[in-house]
Structure 1
């Protein structure tokens, strides 16, 4: 097209998401030119095996195993390989050349985002990664751009579709964790090795990215407190439901009095909370800002086409800037982020106890809470009929340190057979 700047696009990876990105670049070229002001030319797709059958029909001549040469001839590189390497080396090569990079690689950004952002700024390139968090949901650009003039105080989200599918199914059917996990694997919602999802590590990477953007700092995945859902039982879910709660795996980035807290754990939410109604494999992110108030972002958290939509949003944004010569601001970061000690984070606990049903039992348990300055908001007791009882105790807000010490002393009581579960309560 006469007078329109042409941009060479290199695509690294052609899996579920990469194939859909290639399809959009090939099928929607005219519309993308109109929207971006530049002609986007897909010059090649770097893959490990050029003969692999793809879900999308793509000209065979686009495939190559020579990623380096492809990168060196590109204006924009889209990295969808995943993992730390060789993706990290490829991205660094592109940025050093001054080529802009769009990636959906949450693990890489969570581990090395600060270094890569600095490299991009040094060489006048752009590094964008909307697809790294919550699939199709536009959340990173709104945080970085639309809310740039506000003060975000907390970001709390359901950012892993696998765990939300599992917990939602447990809530709606009463099934056990292992049974629902097997179903999720059969349906393709969970990997054969689901550790990254059910262990909370995938959500932790996304929590690090959200915290970094929301608070203009650099939080890495190893600074995120992480707990998965593998210990959640059908009884936990049923008891939560009876009390008006739902259990969700939450990624939380919060500004506290002592610094920034980034954490992932399963927590109770009131069923009326906006995040409490997120079903199946969907994702949602709830943002609290000083001036904008409460904001909710909801949508598909994974899948080829939805995630490709997020990738292409970044592509068009970068292409517009390159076409007009506009310099987009680099990600802003404090040199020395102040991180809150997890022990100082305040929350509420929902504690399950199996106890000996005898006189004075409740008084002894209550005294343990009092010793640590933790007050009990509500309690429910059910008798098992064999001389034991099951207690569910909801605390008022307290520090993690005080609450953890309370649990330790409860376990030492001879009237407490076991602490059956410890969950936090969020969204108050």
Structure 2
């Protein structure tokens, strides 16, 4: 198999982080679009894992906001086009930034509801440093916009461990939901303290709003009116995580121009990357460093798919008919599912079509326990059992074989 040179790999990844499309990279670097897509997926998966594993951040002043975008179709077109795919329509990106270092602490994709806001706030708290007593150190000051879900979500996640405030923006015209209409104008803002104490001048969201602009300039998927939208939620998250990694570790801001108070002399002050400012690295990263982490990530995933070191059973093996359980590992959806051999979806590792799987691999297992363990090793965050052969049609998981149907309840006839 041909492998791209390191120079081309660096050029493609660097171009993807600077608002260039995959088709443009195909034309400029003279490679297949599938090659560009695979490299983007691999680097994006590495970035997702790296951001999720970042812990112990010492951030004192945190600003949070949410950014609108859409996947596949806009929300108003979802019913009309009868899209049955999960994660399509409007997608809100939760972002948290350290005001002092401009480091992006965390992100989350979801809706502007309490469940997603609560999960985001809990994730932000898990990334902050704690002292020996288990308390957040330093005590954070968290400022959000006027989204109502933040108030309860922050209380659930942080309680009294943080000072929290909201900057509630006011507009001339609003809808029934309180959202500004397209013709509305910004008229002011109310600074509201939710918990603890905080100086009034510190209640601001300028840093996260400025990063929202930077992200829209670096990633065309977040442009308000665009045809460069994401087709799947997974690719949307990959592009977002890659931009955050590039911004945190590789983005070197322009020097500041300052004037000496005593002599009046004008001089420039060099600035550091956000990761250097927050203290988790001591140098400016290059794109080659991101690719090195990607290679390590791919090697780890490959080894986790075969933890025992023995050869896995595939559909072409002669012992295929003797394997009672099969695990299908999907490279497209990054998921693993356990089947029985006689399941119509499995067909002894042949699938419904009876041929080689295009976007995944079948693995044979001797017992159900081995199959469940392999599925967890292949995709720890996205594994399940087949609801047709092992479980029920409910999404809550394994409930055993389906029993006889219960007779319908007959209501009482009232005179």
Could you tell me the TM-score, scaled by structure 1's length? 0.26
- Rg larger in 1 or in 2? 2
- Structure with the largest fraction of strand: 1
The structure whose RCO (Cα within 8 Å, separation 6+) is larger is: 1
- Structure with the largest fraction of helix: 1
Could you tell me the TM-score, scaled by structure 2's length? 0.26
